[in-house]
């Protein structure tokens, strides 16, 4: 299990939309080494599939859940302003099938996220600070297909990158404005 997967397990699914936003930001950051190398507009479609097992899912000892994840993202990068700094607009869907390894019970989690760079600034030390607005909706569906937890809303994040495009820091500027159901509580009850 990767460090990202462990962190996701600790955070729980109540922050799925935020996690989706951060994942999209990380993928987008990897597409371009620095914001200062602006060129013509760029468009890319990303599709990724993974299957893995998380032990002690949602911090429940002995609960092993197989996660089959599909991520589809469309990224648009356009230079703006006098300095032609690159601004990202990305939207994507993060779908997961969650299956209790012990009993076969399954749930589906779907997160739809739209991210937009609100401000990109070159700092005097050579780093780049990006203010991102992420909006979206995350829904956890039970075995009968009905929603059992929801997490819509908007969050603002600030990311700082070095000259090579490596992320140096990340902070939440504005917490989610929407409903934030506890996805772990709902998932554990439905999978048990």
Buried residues in 93-113 as b, exposed as e (16+ CB within 10 A): ebebebbbeeeeebbebbbbb
Q: What is residue 164's predicted lDDT score, i.e. its pLDDT?
A: 86
- For residue range 112-170, what is the model confidence (pLDDT) as tens digits? 999 999 999 999 999 999 999 999 999 999 989 999 999 998 999 999 999 888 899 99
Q: In angstroms, rounded to a whole number, what is the distance separating the alpha carbons of residues 159 and 128?
A: 8
For residue 35, pLDDT over 60 is answered with no
Q: In angstroms, rounded to a whole number, what is the distance separating the alpha carbons of residues 105 and 64?
A: 11
- For residue range 74-91, what is the model confidence (pLDDT) as tens digits? 999 998 888 888 899 999
Could you tell me the residue ranges of all domains in the chain? 3-191
Q: What average pLDDT does range 26-43 have in this prediction?
A: 55
Range from 7-11, 47-51, 101-105 carrying the lowest mean pLDDT = 7-11
pTM: 0.71
Bridge partners (DSSP) of residue 180 are none
For residue 17, pLDDT over 90 is answered with no
Q: How far is CA 105 from CA 62, 108, 147, 171, in A?
A: 15, 11, 16, 36
Q: What is residue 39's predicted lDDT score, i.e. its pLDDT?
A: 60
């Amino acid at each position: 299990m990767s460090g990202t997967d462990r962190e996701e397990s600790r955070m729980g699914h109540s922050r799925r939309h935020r996690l989706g936003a951060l994942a999209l930001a990380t993928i987008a950051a990897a597409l371009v080494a620095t914001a200062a190398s602006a060129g013509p507009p760029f468009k890319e479609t990303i599709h990724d599939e993974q299957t893995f097992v998380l032990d002690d899912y949602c911090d429940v000892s002995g609960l092993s859940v197989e996660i089959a994840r599909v991520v589809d993202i469309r990224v648009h990068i356009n230079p703006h302003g006098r300095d032609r700094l690159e601004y990202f607009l990305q939207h994507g869907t993060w779908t997961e099938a969650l299956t209790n390894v012990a009993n076969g019970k399954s749930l589906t989690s779907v997160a739809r996220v739209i991210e937009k760079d609100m401000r990109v600034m070159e700092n005097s030390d050579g780093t780049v600070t990006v203010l991102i607005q992420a909006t979206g909706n995350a829904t956890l569906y039970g075995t009968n297909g009905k929603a059992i937890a929801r997490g819509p809303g908007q969050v603002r994040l600030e990311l700082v990158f070095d000259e090579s495009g490596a992320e140096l820091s990340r902070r939440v500027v504005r917490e989610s404005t929407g409903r934030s159901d506890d996805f772990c509580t709902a998932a554990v009850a439905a999978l048990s």
